Amino acid sequence: MVPLRAYLDASVLGGPFDPEFENPSTELIDAILAGEVAALLSDTLLVETGQAPERVRELVRKLLRAGSEALPLSAEAFALRNAYLAAGVLTRKSADDALHVAQATIARADIVVSWNFRHLVNPVRVRLFNGVNVARGYGLVVIMTPFEVIRVLKEMRDEA
């Protein structure tokens, strides 16, 4: 099975340490460490987690040591983020969330993984992100929670 390329946002890395999100977040991290999922970690994520509790920063280091793909910021990502903002997908206040989607889109991630229901795991916003992506010649973005990703992985295992 070819691993899913999953762009992770900061909420996923805090998930293992939050009782509400602990189990699916931990299962996702385990799937990454087992090679079933290839994690994409952006510079945006690294900045956001730089001030996080030590256990979150250690998890980031562990994922990087395990071979997660590091995504540097680029002018193309900022341009796509700005297109999302100009289209009203998100406001300037949520520019980093738009930047996450831009970086995932440019990296051609299979999925964006997040617990951010307001700005990312939101069907209305996904439709708006995809409208901008299509208009600018990019592929579609899929945004899922770790719980949904684990469910998909289990289905893939059962089919194999």
pLDDT in tens, the chain (160 residues): 789 999 999 999 999 999 999 999 999 999 999 999 999 999 999 999 999 999 999 999 999 999 999 999 999 999 999 999 999 999 999 999 999 999 999 999 999 999 999 999 999 999 999 999 999 999 999 999 999 999 999 998 888 7
Number of domains in the chain: 1
Note down the domain range covering 86.
Answer: 4-159
**CATH number reported for the structural domain that contains residue 99 in this entry:** 3.40.50.1010
DSSP 8-state secondary structure symbol assigned to residue 70: E
Residue whose C-alpha is closest to residue 103's, from 81, 136, 126: 81
Compute the distance between CA of residue 107 and CA of residue 110 in angstroms, rounded to an integer: 9
How much is the pTM? 0.95
